[in-house]
Amino acid sequence: MVLQAALGATGIRNDAAEKFRFYVEIEGIIIAHFTTVAGLELEREELVVKEGGVNDHVHRLPGRIVQKNIRLQRGVTYSHELFEWFQEGRHTFGVSRRNMTIILGNTQHLTVQHWDIEDAWPVRYVGASLDTSSADIAVEEIELAYATAKLTPDILTPMSGLMAVVDLATGKVPNNPLV
């Protein structure tokens, strides 16, 4: 309720975000040319305990949280960065783990949700499918495993809508790459 009142007072609408307004940042570098982010999914394991002498039901308990791999797709460019990251440690298994952020924006160019992904590393690289009968853009994909994902609150941070309004009120331009 407090958030709704604050948003209403500042004139910020609380519409659902469109899924095409996003960008990906890896190790502090904004990579805005990904066309698809998929697999941002967490699931809690369910532990089933069958108690002796109790035959009318089983106990269901919460277990570990398991995350799916994240898949990033983009149009093929002159950059070999993703392939080189995948190739790291090919003979030594010394693959570098990188932190990344996935930021979803809204129609007002403000951050709606901000996921921090820690210790990501490539587990699969898929090169472009080529077809002489198609005029589609060539797309490459990298699949990443990671340690943890956190949905970071953006209220009153430089990327949040409320801070952007405060900055505009003071005459400062907000620092928001979604604009």
Residue the block writes with tokens 């505009």: 168
Angle at 117 between CA 112 and CA 118, to 5 degrees: 150
Closest C-alpha among 144, 136, 134 to residue 99: 144
The pLDDT, as a whole number, for residue 157 is 42
- How far apart are alpha carbons 123 and 38 in whole angstroms? 15
Mean pLDDT of the chain: 78
Q: Is the pLDDT of residue 58 over 90?
A: yes
pLDDT the model gives residue 168:
44
Give the pLDDT of residue 89.
82
Name the residue type at position 40. L
The answer to whether position 140 is within a domain reads yes
Is residue 8 within a helix (H) or strand (E), and if so which, with residue range? helix 2-10
**Structural domain contains residue 175:** no
pLDDT of 143 above 70: yes
Look up residue 46 and give its two tokens.
């369910």
Residue 151 falls within a domain, yes or no? yes
Is 87 inside a domain boundary? Answer: yes
Give domain status of residue 177, yes or no: no
Q: Bigger pLDDT: 3 or 64?
A: 64
Q: Is residue 94 part of a domain?
A: yes
The strand pairing partners of 111, in sequence order, are 105
Tally of domains within the chain: 1
Residue 176 belongs to a domain: no
Kindly state whether residue 160 falls inside one of the protein's structural domains: yes
Dist CA 110 CA 147 (whole Å) = 27
**95/107 Cα distance (integer angstroms):** 38
More confident residue, 23 or 151: 151
Nearest Cα neighbor of 155 from 120, 114, 127 is 114
Tell me the per-residue pLDDT of 150-174, one tens digit each, with 9 for 90 and over: 988 765 444 444 444 444 445 444 4
CATH of the domain at 31: 2.30.110
- Domain that residue 119 falls in: 2-170
Residues 1-31 as b or e (16 or more Cβ within 10 Å = b): eeeeeeeeeeebeeeeeeeebbbbbbeeeeb
